[in-house]
A and B are shown apart, each in its own frame.
Chain A
Amino acid sequence: MNGSIRSLLRLVMLFALLVPAAGTLAGDRDVSYDSSVDFRAVKTFAIRSGQIDSRKAEIDNRLFRLRMEDSIRTALVRKGLREAADHADVLVTYSVQDKNVATVERHRQTAATPELYTEGVLVIDFTNASGSLLWRGTWHDQEQSGPSLSRKLSEDAGKLLAKFPPKGR
């Protein structure tokens, strides 16, 4: 193959990798759980109201809560759990925090440009009836706008719950 065509293909591949990275910033998750719990015995859940610590209109509102709860519900039902109004095996709560971050974009060839992004933290907790924490999932997300963060956080809830139940537990 001609060398210049090969380098052209390499550039196209690099671009395909770079563009999504430029639009969306990083997401990072962590899961921890009580290893003495047999999660296979968890059959039912109830969602409790979440805590939202945000000044953003697109996050701190009833409709965001509904979307978040719907995302959690869908993920758990997909895992074979059933929502129960009373005496659920686990109570699911969530909290959302966000903050704006200003940084400087230095990698461009032009003069350094200030960049703003918004960072959100989603925490989903599973507790038992006595209030002991059984499972905690934490997701850090960075997006370039509040609407984008709002959209992603409810999607992140589903991705975070993909890690439930812990393997072999």
Chain B
Amino acid sequence: MLKKVACSHRRAAARLATLLAALAAFAPAVRASDQIIDFDHAVDFAAVHTFALRGTSIQIDRPELRTPLVVQDISGTVRAALLARGLKEAANDADVLVDWTVSGQRFAINEWRNAVPLDDIPGERPLRGNPWRNLPESFVEGALTVDLTARSSGLLIWRGVYRNREDSSGKLAHELAGYAKKLLAGYPPRRK
């Protein structure tokens, strides 16, 4: 009887150890997607009634991403989210101007299993000597930034940035509208 109890304890300990090891191993991976929302605490967002979509920019040079369909998808999601929060779209004299930008970096895995960037980074030295630039894309670290700028002052009053790691540029293209939705779920900001 005693032997049986000790044996079941050992089995339970082994199972728990496996579970804990698996959780510890996956903890960093879970953190791959992350977002932040910053806003000007001096602004009364309840006084913001109208918006206009202004600028759109896709800074990753891939055909899957640089397409009017992706632009439509993201702009449509941003518009729908703001309308759902009671704002109205106004062609002229809108209270806030909305811009969004898709940026990111594509990576390959080299022979030592290091992650190596595939593309030049805008504003940085071109990767001319990059021996891995012809490797296949392994993953993309993509980011969507949504900005709200007060038209009257020209100041940025709200910014949301969502970053995530996707398996490919194509996957990123399909996920971007979801990023916009998650970001705008945090609008209007709640003051502490």
Chain A residues with a Cβ under 8 A of chain B: 2, 4-5, 7-8, 11-12, 14-15, 18-19, 22-23, 55-58, 61-64, 66-67, 100, 102-105, 108-116, 144-148, 150-151
Instruction: Give the contact stretch, choosing among B67-75, B85-93, B109-117, B167-175.
Output: B109-117
Whether the Cβ atoms of B145 and A57 lie closer than 8 Å is yes
A66, B40: Cα distance in complex, Å: 8
B161 lies within 8 A of chain A by Cβ: yes
Query: How many B residues have CB within 8 A of the partner chain?
Result: 51
Contact B28–A144 (Cβ < 8 Å): yes
Residues in A with CB closer than 8 Å to B12 are 4, 8
Across the interface, do A23 and B28 meet the contact criterion of CB distance under 8 Å? yes
Option from A4, A55, A105, A146 in Cβ contact (under 8 Å) with B13: A4
A and B contact pairs by CB, cutoff 8 A, 22 listed: A8-B9, A11-B13, A14-B20, A15-B24, A23-B27, A23-B31, A55-B123, A61-B38, A61-B159, A62-B155, A66-B38, A102-B107, A104-B113, A109-B25, A110-B25, A111-B113, A145-B32, A146-B161, A146-B163, A147-B161, A147-B163, A148-B36
Indicate whether B101 reaches chain A with its CB closer than 8 angstroms.
yes
Contacts of B6 in A (CB 8 A): 2, 4
Complex contacts, A146 vs chain B, CB 8 Å: 34, 36, 143, 161, 163
CB-contact partner of B114 in A23, A55, A103, under 8 A:
A103
Q: Which of A19, A22, A100, A105 is most buried by chain B, counting CB atoms within 10 A of its CB? A: A22
- Report B-chain residues with C-beta under 8 Å of the C-beta of A64: 38
Asked whether A18 and B114 contact (CB < 8 A) given A114-B107, A148-B34, the answer is: no
From residue A95, how far is it (CB to closest CB) to chain B in Å? 18
A150 with B36, Cβ < 8 A, contacts A19-B23, A63-B156, A114-B113 known: yes
